[in-house]
Structure 1
Amino acid sequence: MSNLLGRLRPSHDSTATDNPTTFSGATPRASTNDPSGLDQTTSNTTVVREKRSRRDLEAAEEEEEEEYEGWVDPYGPAPTVLQWFKWYWHDLLAFIILGAIALWLLMWSPVPYRKLFAVSYNPESGLTPSSTIIYPSFAHPKQSQIMPIVPDAMIAIFVPFISIWLINFFGIGTHGPTGRRLKTRGHGTFLLGRGSFWNVNNGCWGVIYSVMTGATLQIIIKLVIGGLRPHFLTVCDPQIEGVEGQGYGGLYFDVTVCRDFENRKDLIANAMQSFPSGHSIAAWAGLFYVSLYYNAHLKIFANYHPSFLKLLLFVAPMLAATLIVGSLTLDMSHNWYDIAAGSAIGVVMAILGYRMCFASVWDWRCNHIPLPRNREIGGFGYGLREMEMWSGGAATRNGGWGVAERYSHRSWGAPGDLAGVGAGLGGGGGLNGGNGGNGRHHGHGHVHGHSGRGHRGGETYMHAPPAGTGVGAGDGSAVYNR
């Protein structure tokens, strides 16, 4: 019994070991019969704890400061002006030539003599032209435009430019995984240590591609096809008395019947160039591009449930474009079909311009990644490694985005507009067949062919399997037919 009690009775050694506040060489424990000694021990313990807490906090802050260095642009720093010019001189030359042609066509603006139009007829005397307007939709009064073309073009260009710069300055690569705001250290910095030069570069080029191409197309289409504006008859003021018309019943005339035609050719020619709407093309080419950019970099339609405010931000540029083109019906500058055709062309131009500069339009995994022009980098390979390197290139921290590569842990297997890409988290796998090797996603699709990306024994190949035909399976396996 005495042995048992001895084992159950706690010793001073065990207490010193179990109590984290008791150290070797410290003041011995005071007797409970001495209140002053107990107070002194308690005070010493509190001081030790505070010192340890301060040291631990300082060490944690130093470790965090050292570890969370922020995201680094995988394409490297901004090039020199000379190097940038060597990569883009042909684009600049093409823009100069295209702008000169567009300006010449706009200044030339020939009168479409072959276009005929009906004016009026007298229902009481058969088809004899007289007083009843045949097409009152072309007889509206001429009004000043609510949104002139110059402000419309400025909005289409500079709203995207400003949006791209703001996204880079306030969003891209500026947060650590704990929410701390960071400067992007190392190479690849831009905008006072924030953002990505290549993102700004490609984003602005895409706007220029979109708006410039759309503007040139609308000038060519207007000169070739044209169309009567809603105020055409008011501008023309046809003088048909004693003039023999053309067509059935002599109802149709050409522009020579317009009042004072020789001195008002430019005004009359403009009134016959309604299709398509240049305002609509410019507005949608620039502002829909902004919506695409917001979606890609804020990951609005991606792998998490975003805030409603992001949806409003995505819709806002399209609302602005709709209001701009809608004003054309209020001042009777265009017909509804001119606006519809121009808007459709503008949307197509925005999609084409964005896709030329970024890895995807709608695929949330990579639609924020700018495509390289530098031949030394080569093309973007759409592989897992590259996608993780660009995780910090998004302007949101939701869904695991907006942090450096080493903090990025996500699945990449959602369908999108990527063609067969083989990449697995733990082994070979095709994105069309699901992620491989992580035990969470499994698919049944396969990626066949002599090109693509995949894994073999932990080794990634860029373009083609070493031999034979590569098959990337969604269950994490890789099969090669030799």
Structure 2
Amino acid sequence: MAPSRANSPSSSGSGADYGFLGSVSRFWHKSYAADYIGFALLFTGYMVLQFFVEPFHRMFSLNDLRISFPHVEVERVPLSLDFVYALFIPMIFMIVYNFATGASPHKHHVAVLGFAIAMILTSFLTDVIKNMVGRPRPDLLARCLALPNTPRDILVSIEVCTETDHHRLHDGWRSFPSGHSSFSFAGLGYLSLFLAGKMRIFAHGPGAGIGEHTEKLVRGDLVRALLCGAPLLGATMIAISRCQDYRHDVYDVCIGALLGWTVTYWSYRRYWPRLSSSRCDEPYAGPPGADDMNATRYARVRDEEERIGSGQNVGFELQRINRT
């Protein structure tokens, strides 16, 4: 008797578990492949923006004092130093810290992966917004070098500019938001979150009994709290330097800082619990099969599910009743 079609693999919907596609599916769900592919796509998009996309050129007036500041040739924090301060120093510090504390390979992996995703996503979003908005920098007129007979009381376009340096001219319309600010708050902000989690500055834990409020387990001293906040102070100083160099105004800098901080917090929380969690110094478990130590780690759970033992998790209390 022929087997029923209802019992065949293809008809039961389990055909994806077999063959090449099944192998790809299992690899996809049991590794960080999706994260690395997403990172590669973001990096590719960022490179395209850097080399092939020009910003929207908003019209301007030669009488506009907001864009009449001088063009500073030597910046206080050039792009190369911004990479050193916001990218290399935080990454090296996290790697050294993990080695010094005997962190597992999983901690090393997610610390660097989350940091890298935060940096590339921040850079990509910043450049997308920059090119679409096309806001003139405070030093646009010094970059433009408008024709001598250009009318001063009407709006004019980039056609009146005589500057021949392509990058110097077109970069004059990339004021909003500040890339230095978003990049520094993404990199140094991630380091601040990393330190706050490792030092358990805001850590809380379960209360003494069922139904009681969550009590604080660890009270971070002021020295440790200041150490965790130091990277944010550095990011703030980098952002302020952009106003001092007349590359941005306060509005550009504040929005850039907010963008960088938001993206880095989002990326950090994809791999680490909230800072008030009693397990804030331990990352979430990786995909099944991605880490041999998953069996000894707690699974990825929602924040409200981390309150096991505090009397605020109904499912846990029902399990306790069933055991008794």
- Matched residue, 2:114: 206
- 1:33-432 matches, cutoff 5 A: 87-113=31-57, 115-120=58-63, 134-171=64-101, 194-239=102-147, 241=149, 243=150, 251-260=154-163, 263-302=164-203, 303-358=217-272, 360-375=273-288, 418-420=303-305, 423-424=308-309, 430-431=311-312
Q: CA deviation at 1:422?
A: 6.4
- Structure 1, unmatched stretches of 5+, are 1-82, 121-133, 172-193, 379-384, 390-416, 433-446, 461-477
Aligned-residue RMSD, C-alpha: 3.0
Q: Give the residue type in structure 2 aligned to 1:251.
A: I
Larger radius of gyration: 1
Q: CA deviation at 1:159?
A: 2.5
Q: Structure 2 CA distance, aligned partners of 1:234 and 1:104? A: 28
Deviations 1:135-154, CA, capped at 9 Å, x for gaps: 25433233322212232123
Gap change, CA 1:95 and 1:107, over 3 Å in 2: same
Q: CA deviation at 1:220?
A: 0.5
Q: Which has the higher contact order (CA 8 A, sep 6+)?
A: 2
Q: Give the residue type in structure 1 aligned to 2:186.
A: A
Q: Give the residue type in structure 2 aligned to 1:160.
A: P
Q: Structure 1 CA distance, aligned partners of 2:70 and 2:229? A: 33
Gap change, CA 1:138 and 1:459, over 3 Å in 2: farther
| Helix, strand or coil at the partner of 2:31 | helix
Q: Structure 1 CA distance, aligned partners of 2:320 and 2:249? A: 63
Q: CA deviation at 1:86?
A: 7.1
Q: CA deviation at 1:342?
A: 0.6
Contact 1:291 1:315 in 2 (8 A): yes
Q: CA deviation at 1:370?
A: 1.1
Q: Structure 2 CA distance, aligned partners of 1:138 and 1:430? A: 62
Q: Structure 1 CA distance, aligned partners of 2:304 and 2:228? A: 27
Q: CA deviation at 1:332?
A: 1.6
Q: Which moved more, 1:303-312 or 1:209-218?
A: 303-312
Q: CA deviation at 1:456?
A: 3.1
Q: CA deviation at 1:157?
A: 2.3
Contact 1:210 1:286 in 2 (8 A): yes
| Helix, strand or coil at the partner of 1:169 | helix
Q: CA deviation at 1:236?
A: 0.5
Contact 1:421 1:454 in 2 (8 A): no
Q: CA deviation at 1:165?
A: 2.5
- Matched residue, 1:396: none
Residue 456, structure 1, aligned to residue 319, structure 2: yes
More helix by share: 2
Contact 2:69 2:246 in 1 (8 A): no
Gap change, CA 1:422 and 1:257, over 3 Å in 2: closer
Q: CA deviation at 1:453?
A: 3.5
Equivalences, count: 279
Q: Structure 1 CA distance, aligned partners of 2:29 and 2:92? A: 23
Q: CA deviation at 1:215?
A: 0.2
| Helix, strand or coil at the partner of 2:303 | coil
- Matched residue, 1:50: none
Gap change, CA 1:213 and 1:307, over 3 Å in 2: same
Contact 2:200 2:275 in 1 (8 A): no
Gap change, CA 1:369 and 1:223, over 3 Å in 2: same
Task: Give the TM-score, by structure 2 length.
Answer: 0.76
Gap change, CA 1:156 and 1:431, over 3 Å in 2: farther
Contact 1:145 1:333 in 2 (8 A): no
Contact 1:280 1:339 in 2 (8 A): yes
Q: Give the residue type in structure 2 aligned to 1:151.
A: L
- Matched residue, 2:20: none
Gap change, CA 1:196 and 1:454, over 3 Å in 2: farther
Deviations 1:190-239, CA, capped at 9 Å, x for gaps: xxxx2221111111111011111000001101110021112110010212
Q: CA deviation at 1:377?
A: 8.6
| Helix, strand or coil at the partner of 2:219 | coil
Q: CA deviation at 1:386?
A: 6.2
Deviations 1:262-283, CA, capped at 9 Å, x for gaps: x344321101111111111110
Identity of aligned residues (%): 24
